[in-house]
A and B are shown apart, each in its own frame.
Chain A
Amino acid sequence: MKKKILLVDDEVILTKMLKMNLERTGDYDVRTENEGSKALQATREFKPDLIFMDVMMPDMSGDEVIAEIRDDPNLSSIPYIFMTAIVSKAETEEMGNTIGGNEFLAKPVKIEEIISTIERILAKTNS
């Protein structure tokens, strides 16, 4: 069964390209959302196995969206990965890909890295 992944980023083309990349593997069912404020509703409807969340978005920041999802007991167990443009890749490596206990990836990021991160997190969730 395909894993469901929700991509939230205000960059439309980025989400489109990431979706294309992920779906081509045949392992994932991907939905994209380009407004932070609509992400909660999308999560409720789509019930993803994993959420990719941009940090800086114009209407609502990524951590605010995550906070709302956390508040919903039905959704609080969904794992998520922050994608950010404000820290560099070297720093994410240095910090073990977590900030404040949250997983994150620094833009720009290669698809291999995204997939390996997804696999790692989903494996952790299943176990």
Chain B
Amino acid sequence: MIQLKYINIVCVFIFCMAITGIAQSFELNAEEQDWLKQHPIITIAYNNNFPPYGWKNNEGSYQGISIDYLKLIENQLNIKFTQIKQDDWSKVLTEFKAGNIDILAAVAKNNTRQKFMLFTKPYISVQGVIVSIKEYKKLSALNGEKVGVVNDSYWDDLISQYDKDIQIVRVNNTQTGIELVSIGAIDAMVSDLASVSYIVQKESVSHLKFVPVPVLKNKKIELSIGIKKDWPLLKSILEKAINNINQNEIKKIHNKWLKVQEVSFWQDTQFQYNMLFLFLIISTIIALILFWNHSLKMQVLRRSEELDKARVQLIHAEKMESIGRLSAGVAHEVKNPLAILQMSVDYLKGEDNSEIISTVLDDMDDAIARADKVIKSLLDFSREKELQMTQASINNVITKSLRLIEHELKQHNIKLTIALSDTLPDIKMDTNRLQQVFINLLMNAIQAMASGKNNSSEIIVSSTIGKMDSTALLDAGKKEFIVNQKVIIIKILDTGHGLDEKNKQNVFEPFYTTKPVGEGTGLGLSVSKTIIGLHHGMITMKNRNDTKANDQKCKGVEVAIYFAINGEEYQ
């Protein structure tokens, strides 16, 4: 019990301390205290659409600088104002005039208002600004322009009284005005810096410029609490309360609502333009350097490729050259012993032989024939440079070659499709050598299909006039041709097993063959390529990439031979 009494005493003491703390620099005289007692209800209207001074937020409650000030005043006086909710500022003024509202939280003093209102000493200063896209430097520049102001605001009065021919557009609030300026519906909006900065920041409108209203430069508009004309005592009470608000509180409110709006140098439009320009120049330079670098790289790559190709061609040429020289010599030296063997075998065959001996002699006979075939190919090689050129029709050569292999086609049950263009011009050629090439290629095709189990074997031979395409040119690495050059194209397509990756590289190499031992010398394609080369033509061999009627990819090899026609370009 004693303990509890003690606690009570402590509480009372703290309470008294608190009371004296508030009343310390705050002395209302008796008359004023009486007045407050007699007026327990004081109605107030806050600005509902005047950010950051006072506005209604999304939740419907009022906030802003003036509201915070009035709360402090309420605390000072230990009273509570009764809030009248009215969203329309014009109506607020009407109600005020009618005596239904006792005080207005934040109003600027002007002559019109002084007729029906008392003003406390100002507690907020406001800098006026003209918001526009064009940047009006003077009020007079607004002459003839559409200028927005908040209806019945201080700015409304100011612009209305300004004796220039300004088209006033009255809007409900600063935000609406700024939006209208922003979309170009009006030329400018006159309002205060704090409201404008607040809105501009909130809405992220960056293309608007705001300049201080010149007529008011260095002379800021000030907001006071507006009081009923017949309540002078309240005015002195409120002023005492305002005076008693300490600096820290004021600072707190300002920091809360009026963040420093200084434009940093990087936010300056001119600076941004300069930086953008600089950025563009630097990007362009970098892009140019990159492009240059890239094209150099490509050039190096192309050159290396060309060099590689040239090196390969050189090696090939040297190889051919030595094979040629070698073969002529070897052929002579080998043919004589072969002739002796042949004579010997023939002699032995004439004797009375057992069956086994006869078989052995037949095998020897075959071996001699095979060896002779290899020598023949070698001789072809050594003599491939002598051409008998005449002006002739390539189609005739093809037709003649086909006639010579007709028997083979029938034997292997291979279908032959011929599509020869009848508009081909005659070209200079060695018909015998080209016939050798075509027979060689056709026999290759036949052998490729004969070794497979394809029942629908087919050879397609075509000749057309076309243009040289770049991939073929790259494949063959020929310098004699240019892309899009007009050329005769002869194609031989088969339905055989095609080339595998390894073969692709080597098909034209001498002594390269995929045929069973004894069936190919590995010189046919090599000789063909050389013969085509001597005709300044080009030959490529690759797997087919055309498709059948059912969109299925055709299997087999496509050999293409190109001959130039007078260096013309294909139209």
Interface positions of A (Cβ within 8 A of B): 11, 13-14, 17-18, 20-21, 24, 56, 83, 85-90, 106-112
Contacts and interface: CB of A to CB of B under 8 A. Distances in A.
Contacts of B332: 56, 85-86
Given A14-B339, A108-B341, A108-B342, A88 B379 contact: yes
Nearest to A21: B347
B372 interface: yes
Contact of B343 (A21, A56, A85, A87): A21
Nearest to B349: A111
A21 B340 CA distance: 12
6 contacts: A17-B344, A56-B332, A85-B332, A89-B376, A109-B342, A111-B342
A56 B339 CA distance: 14
A88 B372 contact: yes
Given A11-B340, A88-B372, A108 B335 contact: yes
Contacts, number: 65
B339 A108 contact: yes
Residue of B336, B343, B350, B372 with highest tally of chain A CB at under 10 A:
B343
A11 B336 CA distance: 7
Contacts of A109: 339, 342
Contacts of A110: 342, 346
A107 B346 contact: no
A89 B375 CA distance: 10
B376 A107 contact: no
Residue of B331, B340, B372, B375 with highest tally of chain A CB at under 10 A:
B340
A111 B335 contact: no
- Measured as residues with beta carbon below 8 angstroms from the partner, the interface class of chain B is 20 to 34
Given A85-B332, A86-B331, A110-B346, A17 B340 contact: yes
A88 B340 contact: no
3 nearest interchain CB pairs? A85-B335, A17-B343, A107-B339
A109 B339 CA distance: 6
A21 B368 CA distance: 18
A88 B376 contact: yes
Contact of A24 (B341, B347, B375): B347
B93 interface: no
A109 B340 CA distance: 9
A26 to B, nearest CB: 12
Interface in B341-380: 341-344, 346-347, 350, 368, 372, 375-376, 379
B339 A21 contact: no
A24 B343 contact: no
Interface string B390-403: 00000000000000
Given A14-B340, A108-B335, A108-B339, A21 B346 contact: yes
B338 interface: yes
A91 B565 CA distance: 31
A122 B347 CA distance: 23
Contacts of A89: 372, 376
Contacts of A90: 376
Interface in B539-568: none
A112 B349 CA distance: 12
A51 B337 CA distance: 21
Contacts of B347: 17, 20-21, 24, 111
Contacts of B368: 108
Contacts of A85: 331-332, 335-336, 339
B336 A107 contact: yes
A27 to B, nearest CB: 13
Contacts of A56: 332
Contact of B346 (A13, A87, A111): A111
Contacts of B335: 85-86, 106-108
Given A56-B332, A111-B350, 18 more contacts: A11-B340, A13-B340, A17-B340, A17-B344, A24-B347, A83-B339, A85-B336, A85-B339, A86-B332, A88-B375, A88-B379, A107-B338, A107-B342, A108-B342, A108-B343, A108-B372, A109-B342, A111-B342
Interface string B9-38: 000000000000000000000000000000
